[in-house]
Amino acid sequence: MQKAKRILELSLKYRDDTAFNLSELVKIKSPSLGEKAVAEKLVEQMQAARFDEVKIDGLGNVIGRIGSGKRILAFDGHIDTVEVGNAANWSFDPFCGEIRDGFVHGRGAADQKGGVASMVTAGRILKELGLDRDLTVYFVGSVIEEDCDGLCWKYIIEEDGIRPEVVVSTEPTDGGLYRGQRGRMEIEVEFKGVSSHGSAPQRGKNAIYMASRACLAAEQLNERLPVDDFLGKGSIALSQFVSGSPSLCAVADYARIHLDRRLTWGETKESAVKEIEALVKGEDARVFVLNYEETAYTGRRYGMEKYYPTWKWPEDHAAVQSGARAYQALFGKLPRIGKWTFSTNAVTISGMYGIPAIGFGPGAEAMAHAPNEKTPVEDLVNAAAFYALYAWSI
């Protein structure tokens, strides 16, 4: 395809510019709720690429637009990152943004500012070639994903009124084309005991014992959770245990556990909660799903329940097949079609709103949240070309 060849040529031409843009984004620390500076830098980059319109919405999402047609396509990449963690585990400055040995180095290079930098170049290519289709393309630098995946798109759909017919997530995919992921939810269980002096524990009711029994039962539950042929097995993991007592010489009268629950196909919020309620039946315990509500850097307070639905699209779905055709046209082979292990903003895009979504992003999934994070410059080039051609493929 002549179009694919020309797009790939341009993406290679702008290779250094894409790497430089990613480097500039990586140099700016941008935890969830603290994305203002990186959002402003992304606005500058989109404007330099001659996007038709660039704005920041009420939640802080950067939204760049090219075209004004009736059909709507969107690309999404979040601009917030997790913290560095133990700095001793890094062999370089996490915010150096250094370009060397064919990689861009630093926190967010893979998760997931690399996809964002590639989006900017894709937009630049679309402008240079002229997008002569009845299409509006939005390139979204989204916020708060690391704290609450999908919240940004809940805002975009419900508050901004933008509802694409397809969304491409630019999260890292190890060069593959992704079409689904397990869902997840955050569940807590509170246990109420009765305190007594530690010298006479039989007089009280120890909340730690109650919670401990539930933890062991959850470990067993994990082994018998259902398996989906594509998405794999559901899982449950204990991630926090908190207890309290009047003193260190008293029986604990309070305990709380936090459960990370990954949902495979067919599992729901209701079924997952019922499973935990069954584990603590007979105990003085309360099972509940957490809620997220925080103030964005714009000052807008917003939130949602911390339930992130499972989603997948069939391999023969038009959105997936358009991606496969674009990939083959660019690289001369069919893509590896797979799924993410982790969660993405598509939990709301597809899981809540039923909008088709696919994933293609630069970098390795294993680099997400890891020390010494980096992304190959070659991946950035390939991703930019894929995004630009996909706009002509749907």
Nearest to 236 by CA among 223, 253, 254: 223
Query: Which residue out of 17, 57, 80, 186 is catalytically annotated?
Result: 80
Our answer to whether residue 284 is catalytic in this structure is: no
Per the listing, tokens 């590639």 go with 118
Burial (CB < 10 A; 0-12, 13-18, 19+), residue 156, is buried
Pairing mode, strands 337-340 and 177-181: parallel
Our answer to whether residue 283 is catalytic in this structure is: no
Q: Residue 112: is the preceding peptide bond cis (ω within 30°)?
A: yes
Query: Which residue out of 17, 35, 57, 145 is catalytically annotated?
Result: 145
Show Cβ contacts of residue 216 under 8 Å, excluding neighbours closer than 6 positions.
none
Reading the block at residue 58, the tokens are: 């009420």
Residues annotated as part of the active site: 80, 145
